[in-house]
A and B are shown apart, each in its own frame.
Chain A
């Protein structure tokens, strides 16, 4: 039985996108408060909001009883990382929405409320990025998920997305991408290639394709001039695809061995 399927893989990727976009918005907030910066902040916040909303919808659709999703809030188990995560993403969504509204009411200068929410958002972005890996680590019946590499990999993955959205310096983007790839390679090595893609099916092929897509941003970075903006959003899409591929591969691998 594969308890965590494609909806969960999609959620993991969207959570990474949301966390990265939230982090990017925080970085952009710390830059000068001119109109252009606020516009970029709003775009990042909008991406974060849409991503976390779609991700939450994916989680609800994954439930065997989607209409009873509210039980996660009404019957709360504080020890469950899924229950904790539901609160984290709820708070994240509210903060992002609140910050987005505040940026529309701000003019050139950043208000104290915006700065305070920005600090909260940066903390929640880290939580949103990392907690899915803790959900996997709580599944002790799947030994291939019991590794400390996963929290680091998930965090750096969100960082990669955020760095791409925030138009970071090329060297920084390349470095973060390289670290993500190295962490994934380390995880693959720790579980063994036999478990990495255990199913020769469309599932594994999709994960492979997404991973391949991940290499495209690196190629784009190297091949295009530093200030080429027309590749910016395609690059974000490819990084997101790579994030989806990595998380799908981790889910596939972990479910290949039980007990």
Chain B
């Protein structure tokens, strides 16, 4: 008895190459856009924040994303904590904005409608993560939007693409079959500052309470620890 021949799958030479897979037809439909940040993988290279600044032309002094350098309390080692907008399911910024400039897209990400924002700045202190700042050039609120213009053509957010260690992963947090959701589940990723009760869509692997105390906000400078990065 001979073993059955397994059909050899031929490569599909008509399929687009990775750099050709850009276009509205490649947009993923997500139930809830989210991200997992694996702090064990982050090496503090700042590729993510540089990519973000480049992609969105963020002016000096404004940050949509920031990597905090924290000296561990008991070891002579550093921890690196990338922080960005958590795209909370119960976003306090949306509640506080008087002009309804802040709102949610269908996939749950929180975005700013620049046409409606008049710079009231109510959203800035409303965010427990300091994720919103006022753009020094436009005078309007600015925050991470998971690179809407990139994801609409099938690309990953700029920070995810730039990360050399895959510490940042973007996916559908409500789809149990999504690799990122599975990764979050396997690694037991949890919310940063869960006591804020905002139900963030960005989850962290390996974060601790002391990290939250020292780097609870994008706006807080690293200088609090005597380590000044920027």
Contact partners of B117 in chain A: CB under 8 A: 65, 71
Within 8 A of B (CB), among A128-143: 135, 138-142
**Mask: chain A, 48-64; 1 = CB below 8 Å from B; 0 = not:** 00000000000000111
CB of B140 within 8 A of CB of A75, answer: no
CB of B92 within 8 A of CB of A1, answer: no
Question: Which of B97, B127, B140, B193 contacts A64, CB < 8 Å?
Answer: B140
Question: Which of B92, B118, B216 contacts A138, CB < 8 Å?
Answer: B92
Taking the complex as formed, is B196 at the interface, i.e. its CB lies under 8 A from any CB of chain A? yes
CB of B126 within 8 A of CB of A141, answer: yes
Residue of A nearest to B92 (CB): A140
CB of B217 within 8 A of CB of A259, answer: yes
Taking the complex as formed, is A69 at the interface, i.e. its CB lies under 8 A from any CB of chain B? yes
CB of B118 within 8 A of CB of A72, answer: yes
Contact segment of A11-19, A80-88, A202-210, A241-249: A80-88
Question: Which of A71, A76, A138, A259 contacts B130, CB < 8 Å?
Answer: A259
Contact partners of B149 in chain A: CB under 8 A: none
Contact partners of B125 in chain A: CB under 8 A: 3-4, 139, 141-142, 145, 254-255, 258
A55 to B118, CA, bound (A): 18
Question: Which of B94, B118, B220 contacts A63, CB < 8 Å?
Answer: B118
A71 to B101, CA, bound (A): 10
Taking the complex as formed, is B39 at the interface, i.e. its CB lies under 8 A from any CB of chain A? no
Where chain B touches its partner, the secondary structure class is loop
A138-B120 contact given A80-B95, A82-B96, A83-B98, CB 8 Å threshold: no
CB of B126 within 8 A of CB of A138, answer: yes
Taking the complex as formed, is B154 at the interface, i.e. its CB lies under 8 A from any CB of chain A? no
CB of B128 within 8 A of CB of A141, answer: yes
Which residue of B120, B122, B127 has the most chain A CB atoms within 10 A of its CB atom?
Answer: B120
Contact partners of A79 in chain B: CB under 8 A: 94-96
CB of B122 within 8 A of CB of A139, answer: yes
How many residues of B are counted as interface, with CB atoms below 8 angstroms from the partner's CB atoms? 33
CB of A64 within 8 A of CB of B92, answer: no
CB of A82 within 8 A of CB of B120, answer: yes
CB of A141 within 8 A of CB of B92, answer: yes
Taking the complex as formed, is B185 at the interface, i.e. its CB lies under 8 A from any CB of chain A? no
CB of A82 within 8 A of CB of B98, answer: yes
Contact partners of B122 in chain A: CB under 8 A: 3, 80, 82, 135, 138-139
Residue of A nearest to B216 (CB): A259
Taking the complex as formed, is A106 at the interface, i.e. its CB lies under 8 A from any CB of chain B? no
A106 to B30, CA, bound (A): 66
CB of B95 within 8 A of CB of A141, answer: no
Contact partners of B92 in chain A: CB under 8 A: 138, 140-141
Contact partners of A3 in chain B: CB under 8 A: 121-122, 124-125, 134
CB of B118 within 8 A of CB of A140, answer: no
A64 to B124, CA, bound (A): 13
A79 to B92, CA, bound (A): 10
Contact partners of B124 in chain A: CB under 8 A: 1, 3, 141
Taking the complex as formed, is B201 at the interface, i.e. its CB lies under 8 A from any CB of chain A? no
CB of B118 within 8 A of CB of A80, answer: no
Taking the complex as formed, is A148 at the interface, i.e. its CB lies under 8 A from any CB of chain B? no
Residue of B nearest to A142 (CB): B125
Contact partners of A254 in chain B: CB under 8 A: 125
- Nearest-neighbour CB distance to chain A for B103, whole angstroms, equals 9
Taking the complex as formed, is B49 at the interface, i.e. its CB lies under 8 A from any CB of chain A? no
Taking the complex as formed, is A77 at the interface, i.e. its CB lies under 8 A from any CB of chain B? yes
A-B contact pairs, 15 of them (CB 8 A): A1-B124, A3-B121, A62-B121, A64-B120, A64-B140, A68-B119, A71-B101, A74-B99, A77-B98, A81-B96, A82-B122, A83-B99, A138-B92, A140-B92, A259-B219
Starting from the known contacts A64-B140, A140-B126, 13 additional A-B residue pairs (CB-CB under 8 Å) come to: A1-B133, A3-B124, A63-B120, A64-B118, A64-B134, A65-B140, A74-B99, A75-B99, A75-B116, A140-B196, A141-B125, A258-B219, A259-B130
Residues of A within 8 A of B (CB): 1, 3-4, 62-65, 68-69, 71-72, 74-77, 79-83, 86, 135, 138-142, 145, 254-255, 258-259
Residues of B within 8 A of A (CB): 92, 94-101, 116-122, 124-130, 133-134, 139-140, 193, 196, 216-217, 219-220
4 closest A-B pairs by beta carbon, nearest first, are: A64-B119, A259-B217, A259-B216, A64-B139
